[in-house]
Structure 1
Amino acid sequence: MIEIYLIRHGQASFGKPAYDCLSTVGERQAELLGRHFLKNGTRFDAVYSGALRRHVQTAAITMKQINGDGTPNLVIDAGFNELESSDRMMNCLCAVMQQDPALAEQMKHIHTDHAAIGRLFAIVEKAQLMPGDEAAHIRQVQEFVDRIGAALENLVCRVGDNKKVAVFTSGGPTAVALRQTLDTSREQTIRLGWELRNTSITVLRYDQGQLGLVLFNCVAHLEAQNDPGLITYI
């Protein structure tokens, strides 16, 4: 049996020149997550991270709270990266916000309201601000799904039985892993992805060749602070 902790990165820097970097809030979220693990006695036999900067930053800050000296044995696996077009859309979305004052109200809620994020993405798609071949996009999404499946299979093969593993990643890979676990539809998978909060914990259990869901989208480490501003989605 293997327990896989899928941890979404801390709040990224939406609205800044470089989205793929933790904001000050994101750094605080990762710190609180590490303290939560330390207090609860949660230790990991292996620690994985996607190759994006926000993944690695979240892993380093979180694991430093547990180990005191960071996480020297961090395994960087680009297989756990977000869908590339999703990050491009985030940068495109930022440009749209700056050019269209009418969207300012939506922008106010982008960090803390997952529904606002969905509405803004819909605006980008409707405006066709990210043109491209639909068939190519479908192919890229399938390749993304296959990549996440392969990354999970490789992890299971490498770590061995009776292990607890942390994987610092994004909402997309976590949603895909849930799809493979729960056999959700495409629409359900997208909705699950929007629900994932920054530094949330989703735990899967791999046993006898099957993945099962143990915990979904837990942010107890943030809720304990009684600060709604720490509950973010981007």
Structure 2
Amino acid sequence: MAEILMVRHGQAAFGTDDYDRLTEVGWEQSRLLGDYFVRRQMTFDAIFTGTMRRHRETLAGVLEALSEQPPATELPGLNEFDFHALVTAYRALNPDTNVDTRDARAFYGCLRDALLAWNRGELIDVAEDWAAFESRVRGTLSALTEPRGRVLVVSSGGPISAVVRETLQLSVENMVNLNLQAINTGITRYYGNQKLLRLNTFNAVPHLESPDDSRLITYT
């Protein structure tokens, strides 16, 4: 039996030329998560991340407070889908869509429509289709559930919500809604093994619950 903690990366640099890096807020969120693990005397028997910079940097922030943890295994299946490409493809299909891509609220509203269109197979010229995305995420589950003990996984909102969909048999629309609610460094906890995985907690941020930390509740 494994306890699997899937953590969304810290705040990334939305609206800049390089989204795939943590902001100073993202680094602070990650370090506070590491401090929380120390206070709870939590150590890990296995660690997995995607291959993205924001995943590696989030783990680095967490590990500043933790010592003698196992080396991380990188799994490309934990990477986020290319949401910028999906929004571009959706806007090409719907030229009347007017959205300021520098405004996070407007962008993610458009992304919701793009994700649903992606699932319906309507978007063209995208490198990965919906079925391939779900397949690669599903393919990571055997690796994540193989170890015994406590497992830390650093990934992104898309793969995390896809695992929730797989576990609870959610509709795509409900999965997308969960995806867009994912808090940076939010913890989604499972218990299980390769035969059965049970969701225990979704999107928890116990390390950010102090009133002084309310500014650290972010979604990008």
TM-score (norm 2): 0.83
Query: In the aligned structure 2, how far is the partner of 1:222 from the partner of 1:2?
Result: 25
Question: Match of 1:97?
Answer: none
Question: Match of 2:24?
Answer: 24
Counterparts in 2 of 1:44 and 1:72: CA distance versus 1, 3 Å: closer
1:169 corresponds to 2:155: yes
The Cα shift of 1:134 comes to 3.0
Query: In the aligned structure 1, how far is the partner of 2:131 from the partner of 2:35?
Result: 37
Q: Which runs of 4+ in 1 moved over 6 A?
A: none
Query: In the aligned structure 1, how far is the partner of 2:99 from the partner of 2:137?
Result: 37
Question: Match of 2:57?
Answer: 57
The Cα shift of 1:91 comes to 8.9
For structure 1, the 5+ residue unaligned runs are 93-100
C-alpha RMSD of the superposition: 3.0
The Cα shift of 1:79 comes to 1.4
Q: Is 2:187–2:201's contact at 8 Å kept on the other side of the alignment?
A: yes
Q: Is 1:19–1:90's contact at 8 Å kept on the other side of the alignment?
A: no
Question: Match of 1:14?
Answer: 14
| Percent identity (aligned) | 33
Query: In the aligned structure 1, how far is the partner of 2:141 from the partner of 2:193?
Result: 13
Secondary structure of the corresponding residue to residue 227 of structure 1: helix
Q: Is 1:14–1:90's contact at 8 Å kept on the other side of the alignment?
A: no
Query: In the aligned structure 1, how far is the partner of 2:106 from the partner of 2:191?
Result: 32
Which digits, 9 at most, give the CA deviation of each residue in 1:156-214, with x for residues without a partner? Answer: 23x2x3x1100000000000000011100000000011111000000011147111111
Query: In the aligned structure 1, how far is the partner of 2:86 from the partner of 2:205?
Result: 26
Question: Match of 1:204?
Answer: 190
Question: Match of 1:95?
Answer: none
1:213 corresponds to 2:199: yes
TM-score (norm 1): 0.79
Question: Match of 1:42?
Answer: 42
Question: Match of 1:88?
Answer: 85
